[in-house]
């Protein structure tokens, strides 16, 4: 059922496409404080997203977001996700976007593929085809639940991100 819903949403999004963007983000805490109190060396935790943005409506637009997160943990943490969200870009301040997202993912760690739920929000400052922003996400860390045989914890992460518009179709008649 989820696969059918994603396929229908993907088809709708492609037909009502306004733009395609690419985002690259780094977890702020891991960049400056490291993985934990024990391991305080800066660590890489990158989030890559391709966003299919639907046509503009009165207050904003819907988007389908395909994401991949990679973190230098032991063992390495990888999460692929599909999110749906809405971004407000016609509010009180020019060039500011506020978005909220919810989705499902898959964590690959400890030689296991584990399902994961997540949600988040972002704020962006738009400069032409470039967006500078902050993304806050909450992810069900099913890998930790699997490894330590506990209920899957939810972890928050904050990312600084840069987004670039890769494609905008020519205006349709």
Per residue in 18-75, pLDDT (tens digit) is 899 999 999 998 888 877 655 567 889 999 999 999 988 999 999 999 999 999 988 8
In tens, the pLDDT along 95-134 reads 999 999 999 999 999 888 999 999 999 999 999 999 999 9
Q: Which residues pair with 78 in a beta bridge?
A: 70, 108
Does residue 13 carry a pLDDT above 80? no
Does residue 172 carry a pLDDT above 90? no
77 contacts 143 by C-beta, under 8 angstroms: yes
Residues 6+ apart with CB under 8 A from 155: 138, 139, 141
Which domains are assigned to the chain?
2-167 (2.40.160.20)
């Amino acid at each position: 059922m989820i696969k059918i819903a994603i396929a229908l949403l993907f088809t709708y999004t492609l037909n009502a496409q306004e733009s395609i963007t690419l985002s690259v983000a780094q977890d702020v805490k891991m960049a400056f404080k490291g993985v934990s109190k024990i391991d305080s060396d800066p660590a890489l935790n990158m989030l890559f997203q391709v966003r299919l943005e639907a046509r503009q409506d009165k207050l904003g637009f819907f988007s389908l977001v395909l994401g991949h997160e990679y973190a230098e943990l032991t063992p390495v943490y990888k999460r692929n996700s599909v999110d749906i969200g809405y971004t407000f870009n016609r509010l009180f301040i020019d060039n500011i976007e506020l978005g909220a997202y919810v989705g499902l993912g898959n964590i690959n760690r400890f030689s296991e593929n584990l399902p994961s739920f997540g949600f988040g929000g972002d704020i962006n400052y738009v400069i032409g085809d470039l967006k500078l922003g902050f993304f806050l996400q909450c992810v069900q860390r099913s890998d930790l639940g699997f490894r330590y045989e506990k209920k899957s914890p939810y972890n928050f992460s904050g990312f600084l991100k840069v987004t670039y518009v890769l494609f905008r179709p020519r205006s349709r008649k």
